[in-house]
Amino acid sequence: FFSVNYCTMSDQVNADNIDMAQVSMSFEEEVSALVQEAVKDVISPTSAYNHTKVGLWVNMICEGIMKKLMELKMPRKYIVNCTVLQRNGAGLHTATSCHWDTEGDGCYTHKVEFKTLICIATVYGLQL
Amino acid sequence: FFSVPVLLGPGPPVIMEEEEGKSNTIKIYNPTYLMKPRPGTKFMKRNVEQKVNEVLEPKLKDVKYDAELMADLCKELCTEIQNEIKKMGYERYKLVTQVVITEAQGQGQRIASRCLWDPEEDNYAQATYRNETLVCNALVFGCYWE
């Protein structure tokens, strides 16, 4: 049997609802290194927010993360979301709400802050 | 704690458990082993988009961006959108809702998503609401689970 619980999450990672006893590695651990590497490959602390390049960066980050996730070859569906925001003092709030199976599914968010831009990459994994 | 087997339409029975004193019901879903959703229960992008817009507009109509209030508003919007979509009757769909509220200060912003799923059954809906002081972006992903 699977129990479907409703959970609300903010942009902070909440790993409490993943049962550590049943899975050897939580979704967060599996995926964190991949996501951080994929983001580093595209943007560095020296990159400045550039209106023409942002579209390209965002696509490259998403595709980079997706490629690495596919290599894991797990029976999962993935959703990768990436936001790149220019820094000018404006505020940003993100909230996530998921209706899924808390045992097999998980999400991971990675935030990087540089001088002129902020990048937030989120990965959701849904087990089949 | 009592469990009552309830038949939710044609198909295997779903056991709904109700805890006494609590309003949350825990639904236990059995796998149906159906590769496609039943006719009429497929995630319809345009209906979901319409619903999300219906939720966003009245809630954000005269709202001014305020850092303290926005955190709660964001979560509230997320919850409400999720509840509304659940009411629409997509039984075998796992839903992921994401809401981003940004202050409109003339900065640039780019949001992108990539998904690895079955394009015939799974889909997403996106809605944006713009105001003088804020921009709100809502994304709803629906993944079929057999």
Which domains does chain B show, CATH number per domain? 45-144 (3.30.1140.40)
CA distance B115 to B67: 31
What is the share, in percent, of chain B residues with pLDDT greater than 90?
48
Assigned domain for A66 exists:
yes
Contact: A79, B141; criterion CB under 8 Å: yes
Sign of the four-CA dihedral A86, A91, A96, A97: negative
Give yes or no for residue B130 having a pLDDT over 60: yes
- Single-letter amino acid, residue B99: V
- Is A110 a domain residue? yes
> What mean pLDDT is predicted for residues B82-92?
89
Q: How far is B57 from chain A (nearest CA, A)?
A: 18
Q: A70 and B116: CB-CB below 8 Å?
A: yes
pLDDT of residue A24: 60
A94:B75 CB<8 A: no
Domain residues for A89?
A: 27-127
What does the pLDDT read at residue A21? Answer: 42
Task: Tell me which H or E stretch contains A9.
Answer: strand A2-10
CA distances, B53 to each of A30, B95, B125, B126, B134 (Å): 35, 17, 10, 9, 15
Is A92–B100 a contact, with Cβ atoms under 8 angstroms apart? Answer: yes
**Range A48-69 average pLDDT:** 91
pLDDT of residue B5 exceeding 70, the answer is: no
Contact check, Cβ <8 Å, A99/B82: yes
Q: What is the pLDDT of residue A57?
A: 92
Q: Are B95 and B123 in contact (CB under 8 A)?
A: no
DSSP, residue by residue, A14-30: --TTS-TTTSSS-HHHH
> Which residues of B are less than 8 Å from A90 in CB distance?
102-105, 107
Query: How far is B133 from A121, CA to CA, in rounded Å?
Result: 25
Average pLDDT over chain A, rounded to an integer: 82
pLDDT tens for A68-106 read 999 989 899 999 999 999 988 888 999 999 988 888 888
Please report residues of B whose CB lies closer than 8 A to that of A54: 108, 110
Task: Give the minimum alpha-carbon distance from B115 to chain A in angstroms, rounded to a whole number.
Answer: 4
Residue A1 counted as domain residue: no
User: Which H or E run contains B17?
Assistant: strand B14-18
Interval B36-68: pLDDT, tens: 888 888 889 999 999 999 999 999 988 899 888
pLDDT one-digit tens code per residue, B15-30: 444 444 445 566 777 8
Local confidence band at A39 (pLDDT 50, 70, 90 cut-offs):
very high
Decide if A81 is inside a domain. Answer: yes
Give domain status of residue A5, yes or no.
no
The phi and psi torsions of A93 (rounded to 5 degrees) equal -130, 135
Number of domains forming the structure of chain A: 1
Q: Is the ipTM of this complex over 0.90?
A: no
> How long a stretch of residues is chain A?
128
Residue B18: the pLDDT is: 42
Does the residue A20 lie in any domain?
Answer: no
Task: Tell me, yes or no, if the pTM score tops 0.95.
Answer: no
Q: Which residue has the tokens 């059995």?
A: B30
Q: Is B114 in Cβ contact with A80 (below 8 Å)?
A: yes
Q: Report yes or no: B23 at the A interface, CB cutoff 8 Å.
A: no
List the alpha helices (DSSP H) in chain B: 45-60, 67-87
Does A117 reside within a domain? yes
